[in-house]
Chain A
Amino acid sequence: EAEVAQSPRYKITEKSQAVAFWCDPISGHATLYWYRQILGQGPELLVQFQDESVVDDSQLPKDRFSAERLKGVDSTLKIQPAELGDSAMYLCASSEGGLNYGYTFGSGTRLTVV
């Protein structure tokens, strides 16, 4: 069964440092999402891509977060500088397109900022 790949699985970083997460969606999935899940809460959308274009980044803290999907395939989410409040699970998901398909999620990256 096809999977969404994410790396690293775990990341510990000091505050004010830069950190990056990588996601490789299911082949052929045009839509890619980055979600942040704080412990005990549901996932919250950070950014949505359709191919290489950003569709929605209204909840992305743009002063410190950036995301790119240069060739419309894999994607990178970066935080610089990291803050203590950024500690969370960062989930990547992809979809064939259209809400009726639902999303396939990766296993996530657990970020701890110390």
Chain B
Amino acid sequence: AQSVTQPDIHITVSEGASLELRCNYSYGATPYLFWYVQSPGQGLQLLLKYFSGDTLVQGIKGFEAEFKRSQSSFNLRKPSVHWSDAAEYFCAVGGTGGFKTIFGAGTRLFVKA
């Protein structure tokens, strides 16, 4: 069955430090993978997506993610975090053949000065 796991409920990083948010998925074929960001009380904004090609994908706001098929992972990274990056981040997986896109439970990012 299709599933998404975000192992970290929350993460705290210092401003200027690097960030990596983990995402593991379960899907029988090549997945469509997404990262979204949600500020408090707002909808979700698409950061980046992967469905084929280069396994390192670049997104908006300086984020990137790497697809590793052998590890069933799609971790989100940013080299230097800004205070405005504090938000909740959701990994999502979708597929063809009628599989709906499902979301992980999210990772809340706190940024300390």
Contact = CB atoms under 8 A, between A and B. Distances in A.
A93 to B, nearest CB: 8
A105 interface: yes
Contacts of A103: 44, 46, 101
B86 to A, nearest CB: 16
Contact of A43 (B41, B44, B51): B44
Nearest to B43: A105
Tier of interface size on chain A: 20 to 34
Interface residues of B, number: 25
B74 interface: no
Contact of B44 (A41, A91, A99, A110): A91
Contacts of A102: 34, 46, 49
Chain A contact surface mostly? mixed
B100 interface: yes
Contacts of A91: 43-44
A102 B106 CA distance: 17
Looking at B90, B92, B94, B103, the one whose CB has the most chain A CB atoms below 10 A away is B103
A45 B103 CA distance: 9
21 contacts: A40-B105, A41-B106, A42-B4, A42-B90, A42-B92, A42-B105, A42-B106, A43-B44, A43-B103, A45-B102, A93-B43, A99-B51, A99-B94, A99-B95, A104-B46, A105-B44, A105-B45, A107-B41, A107-B42, A108-B41, A108-B43
The 8 closest A-B pairs by CB, nearest first: A42-B103, A105-B43, A99-B32, A102-B46, A105-B44, A99-B94, A107-B43, A100-B51
Interface of A: 4, 6, 40-45, 48, 56, 91, 93, 99-100, 102-108, 110
